[in-house]
Amino acid sequence: MRIVLLGPPGSGKGTQSQRLVERVGIPQISTGDLLRAAVSKGTELGRRAKEAMDSGRLVDDSLVLGMIRERLGEPDTRKGFILDGFPRNLAQAHALDHLLEALKQPLDAVVQLEVDYGELVRRISGRRTCADCGRVFNLLTSPPSGANLRCPVTGEPHRLVQRPDDNEATVSERLRVYDEKTRPLIDFYRARGLLRVIDAEGDLDAVTRRLAQVLGVPALRAVAKPKRPARRKAKRAAAPRKRPAARKKPASRAKATRQRASARKGGARRPKVARKKSAKRSRTRRG
């Protein structure tokens, strides 16, 4: 499956991509993440991208396209990919078309995540990323909790940092750039019959379900289900087979357990007789 997630900053492209990666097993390709990695490594590309990123403008198409061409050439993308934050203008969308045509890997869908402007600003101000594993959280809507309390890389609580471009001035510029340069892609992909639109507000899981639905992939529960019977089967195979008596009413099962316990303490003969008797009694009652 080859998809593009389209939406303004803070619409949840990164978060939902990560969730899709877990369910569908195809890589997420985020140009924002690739650029940030280049900046923190101090590469030539990172050095050239940094100024635009810090001010909320788009990085040069030539840099971004070179990066994407290289990434889509890697073998893990053969089974599909989720593009997050790319393309971001019409020139990038045309270039992607040509690239995927040459690779004979056309897009399957483009999903537009719709979120109200005020909600975007609220989300971005609460957004934090783990400096070690890169997972994205939100202090207001989805702080680390439960199984995600600790970082899978360090085993310690996540080390949450705020992205340098998540400050008020840069955010408003990024939203303006989205309206001017990226929003036209909605019509571009609608005309190609690829566009799906989902409401990306509200509960995180609900958004994932909507996303899974428009993509035709199994949602959270449906994916988790097949694993459980498999585990139970394995357990059953390892355990000794139970006698049909195990299917009796709970009362007689409790009784059988008591009898087995007393058999362990006081020898095997007494419970054997008791079992026979009770079986006879229940047969009589039923008949």
Residues taking part in catalysis: 13, 88, 127, 163, 174
User: Toward ligand ADP, which CB reaches closer, 132 or 173?
Assistant: 173
Q: Helix crossing, 31-41 with 44-55: angle to 10°?
A: 120
Which residue from 56, 95, 111, 198 is in contact with ligand ADP, where contact means CB under 6 A? 56
Place of tokens 């989720």: 82
Q: Which of residues 210-269 bind ligand ADP (CB under 6 A)?
A: none
**Least distance in angstroms from the C-beta of 227 to ligand ADP:** 32
- Residue choice 29, 59, 130, 200 for contact with ligand ADP (CB under 6 A): 59
Q: Which is nearer to ligand ADP, 7 or 271 (CB)?
A: 7
Distances (CA, A) of 57 to 51, 71, 130: 8, 22, 24
Task: Rule CB under 6 A: say whether 35 interacts with ligand ADP.
Answer: yes
Cβ proximity of 7 and 114 under 8 Å: yes
Token pair recorded at residue 107: 């897009």
CB of 44 to ligand ADP, least distance (A): 16
Query: Does residue 31 bind ligand ADP (CB under 6 A)?
Result: yes
Do residues 251 and 221 lie in contact, with contact meaning Cβ atoms separated by under 8 Å? Answer: no
CA distance 113 to 201: 9
Site for ligand ADP in 68-127 (CB under 6 A): 85-86, 88, 92
Beta carbons within 10 angstroms of residue 1's beta carbon: 16
C-alpha dist (Å) from residue 205 to 15, 19, 71: 11, 9, 29
Q: Which stretch binds ligand ADP (CB under 6 A): 31-39, 96-104, 235-243, 256-264?
A: 31-39
Provide the binding-site residues for ligand ADP, judged by CB under 6 A. Answer: 9-10, 31-32, 35, 52-53, 56-59, 64, 85-86, 88, 92, 165, 174
